[in-house]
Structure 1
Amino acid sequence: MSTTFTLDTSTSRANPTPAPMKRLTIPAIQSHKQKGVTAQPLVMLTAYTARMAQLLDPHCDMLLVGDSLGQVIYGLPSTVPVTVDMMCAHGAAVVRGSYHSVVVVDLPFGSYEASPEQAFATASRILKETGCAAVKMEGGEVMADTVRFLAQRGIPVMGHVGLTPQAVNALGGYGARGKSQAEHDKIMRDAKAIEEAGAFATVVEGVLEPIAKAVTAVSDIPIIGIGASVDCDGQVLVIDDMLGMFERVPRFVKRYESLAEIVSKAVETYAGEVRSRSFPTGDQTYQPK
């Protein structure tokens, strides 16, 4: 039986415990799409910590340790400064906190583009240090040889085409892609090239909906949409966005909760009680017997 880790709330330590079920596998994810059709869409969310992974895991098929952690965890201006060390630390935490979902970890900018050999070195390190099942890399045709190199050596790869955040400096921002015929054609070629190279699934981000539908229709592997189409084979969102941790709500995000307001209100109440000396009370202090 596979094992996961349970956080002991009395000590905040992670202790290995038997998992209640076997973790999903890459073939299981691929099997959701049969003869070009996915009957039940795949559910994917980002996770960066063990506790959040515990909460998301029972409901998700895949957990993505995205390089978006650069912005939502570290307050960086983009994903570009994210390091392999960051991805390894957070990837290991998410694996420890989950037992059901396939955990996929992003390869950060600069850690895989130079050559297939560089990508293999980075990906193998991430798999070893985190225990994750797969890595994700951005790029289409230009990265096809690298995807093939990794896939042939036993490293499952999830592709990522369309809006690729690591290329924000070249793209000039985070606007939707595919507005021109040239961009439309490139996204279609990119998705096909990644599939033919051996990717087990591909994220299609921030593209005009007809393109997302077309890519999904012609692909034999699952297409995971974000800012794409309901007709994709699955969906992914950044957990902090869908839970309302930030004021800005991207167009492609549905806010399911407003956790920032809940946290702010709780802290406001706590601060008031501390300043008025109404906390702690006898219930929160140790009295002599």
Structure 2
Amino acid sequence: MIPSGLRGLLARRLPVLGVSVAALTVLGPFGTFQDMSLSQRLAYWGGLLLVGTLEFDLVILITRRVVSDQTRRWPWMLAAAIMIVSLIQTAIVAVLEQQRRGMDAGSAPALTELYGYVLVITLLVAAAPIWLELRRHGLIDASPTAPSTVAPPAVAPESAPASGPDAAPFLDRIPPRLGRDLLALEMEDHYVRVHTQLGSDLILLRLRDAIAELSGIDGLQVHRSHWVAASAVATAERNADGKLTLILTDGRRVPVSRSYNAAVRAAGWAERDGGASHTQG
């Protein structure tokens, strides 16, 4: 079964990829219209764009693993990914051009010119999906400016309670349409899925970094892939194998791994019942 995160990614990528391949196949830029048949152009551009998409995702995946503050550094991450992918694609195209059409693409001037063509195609094809992904994860949303323009004047640092919601910078990452009533976080394909009373969405951030920004909210990490707000726990049940499962106020079921079992019990969550949780929420 395909993971839900991967299904969503494919649903967003495949239509854009299909349209791009179709457009380049029909237009046949850079001499491919004159030198190749329709089927050859389809294979040529389809293969190049598919390989380029996989390269781009791999480069971004590696970058996310080594870069901690992705919210501030994403422009550099994106620029580096485009440059690296364009270099790899230039090498691939150079080999294809030499083998397929006998073109001399091995000299420095030829490679420089070819790199320019590849970079243009990469930018044109990637522009729309990159913009949609950045907007989806809140990296180009207006909300990141909130801490500097709104939050500091509203609450003086010495008067803000350490456990209050305003003390959690992660809340400023949540898209405004989801509100700030945080229920849980879930690690999903190297992203964090945010669950609130109004819905859920993915944010480009590692779970451990998100939890570090939630110091102002009463909650616990209950699994390597899950964090839960205290106010969101409605009840808890014990499974046949002895493991705990938390039932949240929206009906979501969150597993508790053995390594976090003691912390959940110490917080009193294991003894909660539906009535007690609703009085707290």
Which bracket does the TM-score occupy, shorter chain normalised?
Answer: under 0.3
- Whose RCO is larger (CA < 8 A, sep 6+)? 1
When normalised by structure 2's length, the TM-score is 0.23
Greater Rg by CA: 2
Please, what TM-score do these two structures have when normalized by structure 1?
Answer: 0.23
- Which of the pair is proportionally richer in helix? 2
